[in-house]
Structure 1
Amino acid sequence: MKAKDVMTAKVITISPDNGVRQAAKLMLAHSVSGLPVVDDDGHLIGIISEGDLLRRSELGSGAMLPRDAAPQSSDERARSYVKSNAWRVADVMSRDVVVVDEDTPLSRVAALMTRHGIKRLPVTRGNALVGIVSRANLLGTIVAARPDGTASGDEAIRRSIMSRLNEDTGLEGMDITVTVEDGTVHLWGNVDTQDCRNAARVVAESVRGVKGVIEHFAQLKRS
């Protein structure tokens, strides 16, 4: 699936000339943690989030500069002052925005969110904002996902498990034997770590039609 398949197309946005207080009101009213900032042509120019508002002067001097913060240069202190006291969204928003286009695969979307520690990604078509994809959108995809189809029968289940063991599981090349009896999977082999054993069990459990998994691995080696 791609970003365009799960994104929210009706996006609550704000103008760079609006006030910070208005931005906070919109976030509360629509239960969102961030707002894309767009110009008069609908082009994305930034994003303002809850994180941008955590060091506001309205919250007190302690919020503006934590006690354990490292000493700041003049420029850094000037930027902090603007972020804490400016009333316009343009002065407070983050301009270095991570975006994706409509055809970005969801795996890439999730990877970008993880790498940058962000909760949402604007979706653009050229320079125009066309949607936003959030962590909630990705969770919805997980809930709606249907199990992969597998032919019925013990042998079909066994073949599917053997194939998946050689995917990106950390188990590639390990000597694992799989047998299936009336839908119950039996795993055999020399798998030396508990993490790898857990991965083998999860591989088996993820195949449709499996009723249970029994491990017969050799005893774990003691370090």
Structure 2
Amino acid sequence: MKTKDVMTANVVTVSPDHSVRHAARIMLEHRISGLPVVDDGGHLVGIVSEGDFLRRSELGAEMSSPGEAHDYVRRHSWKVADLMTSDVVVADKETPIEQIAALMQEHGIKRIPILKGQRLVGVVSRADLLRAFLAAKFEDATAAGDDAIRRSILTRLREDAGVEADALTLTVTDGLVYLLGTVRSQSERDAVRVVAEGVRGVKGVFDQLHLAQA
């Protein structure tokens, strides 16, 4: 799935010449936590978010670098241009959504502006990705019969979850999966269970795995 499939196209924006109070009012009215900042030509020049307001003198925030002019300007200026973040992580409409999710995690951000050239054409937020998650079809493995279920689980453990099944005893009876043996960690134990539960035809999973002694 691409960014163009999930992005919000009708984006609420603010001008760099608007006041910071105007920006805060727009964010509250539209119940959003950040605003792209665009110039008169529709070009993205920055982004202003809730976090930027936490540094404001009106809230009694202390200067992170006392005596530095840049810090003083961000805390006291009335213009969005002085408060916004100019170095913005962006993407285009063809960017896969898994890359968008990775960028959000890497940079600790909640939204990514989508550009065509330098013009803003949309925004992808965490909420947009959440909606994409709910709309996605659940992809499970298909297996018919106990032997096929067992083979499917073992294959997915090795290829998808990276779990070696050498120390496992896995039996399937009438669609019921019994897990016995030893795993190296709780994460591996959880992975074995989740893989087994995700194979179509499985009616139940009985986890009797043990953690290896350190």
For normalisation by structure 1, the TM-score amounts to 0.86
Aligned residues: 212
> Who is 2:2 aligned against?
2
Q: How far apart, CA to CA, are the structure 2 residues paired with 1:25 and 1:212?
A: 52
Q: How far apart, CA to CA, are the structure 2 residues paired with 1:87 and 1:189?
A: 65
Contact 1:148 1:207 in 2 (8 A): no
Q: Of 139, 144, 149, which residue of structure 2 is paired with 1:157?
A: 149
> Who is 1:12 aligned against?
12
Deviation at residue 73 of structure 1 after TM alignment: 6.7
SS of the equivalent of 1:96 reads coil
> Who is 1:197 aligned against?
189
> Who is 1:92 aligned against?
83
1:81 and 2:79 are equivalent in the alignment: no
1:169 and 2:161 are equivalent in the alignment: yes
> Who is 1:53 aligned against?
53
> Who is 1:144 aligned against?
135
Q: How far apart, CA to CA, are the structure 2 residues paired with 1:49 and 1:205?
A: 41
* Aligned pairs (5 A) from 1:106-125: 106-125=97-116
SS of the equivalent of 2:199 reads coil
Q: How far apart, CA to CA, are the structure 2 residues paired with 1:196 and 1:114?
A: 23
| AA aligned opposite 1:81 | Y
Q: Could you report, residue by residue, the CA deviation over 1:137-160 in whole angstroms, capped at 9, with x for unpaired residues? A: 111122222222525443443333
SS of the equivalent of 2:189 reads helix
Q: Percent identical across equivalent pairs?
A: 58
1:211 and 2:203 are equivalent in the alignment: yes
Q: Could you report, residue by residue, the CA deviation over 1:48-93 in whole angstroms, capped at 9, with x for unpaired residues? A: 0001111212212xx133xxx5xx374xx21111111111111110
RMSD: 2.0
Label 1:50 to 1:125 Cα distance change in 2 as closer, same or farther (>3 A).
same
Q: How far apart, CA to CA, are the structure 1 residues paired with 2:151 and 2:137?
A: 20
> Who is 2:21 aligned against?
21
Contact 2:42 2:120 in 1 (8 A): yes
Label 1:7 to 1:159 Cα distance change in 2 as closer, same or farther (>3 A).
farther
Contact 1:148 1:208 in 2 (8 A): no
Deviation at residue 109 of structure 1 after TM alignment: 1.0
Label 1:156 to 1:134 Cα distance change in 2 as closer, same or farther (>3 A).
farther
Deviation at residue 163 of structure 1 after TM alignment: 2.6
Q: How far apart, CA to CA, are the structure 1 residues paired with 2:146 and 2:119?
A: 52
| AA aligned opposite 2:53 | L
Q: How far apart, CA to CA, are the structure 1 residues paired with 2:139 and 2:151?
A: 14
The answer for unaligned runs of 5 or more in structure 1 is: none
| AA aligned opposite 1:30 | H
Contact 1:12 1:35 in 2 (8 A): yes
| AA aligned opposite 1:28 | L
> Who is 1:37 aligned against?
37
> Who is 2:211 aligned against?
220
Q: How far apart, CA to CA, are the structure 1 residues paired with 2:121 and 2:151?
A: 43
> Who is 1:103 aligned against?
94
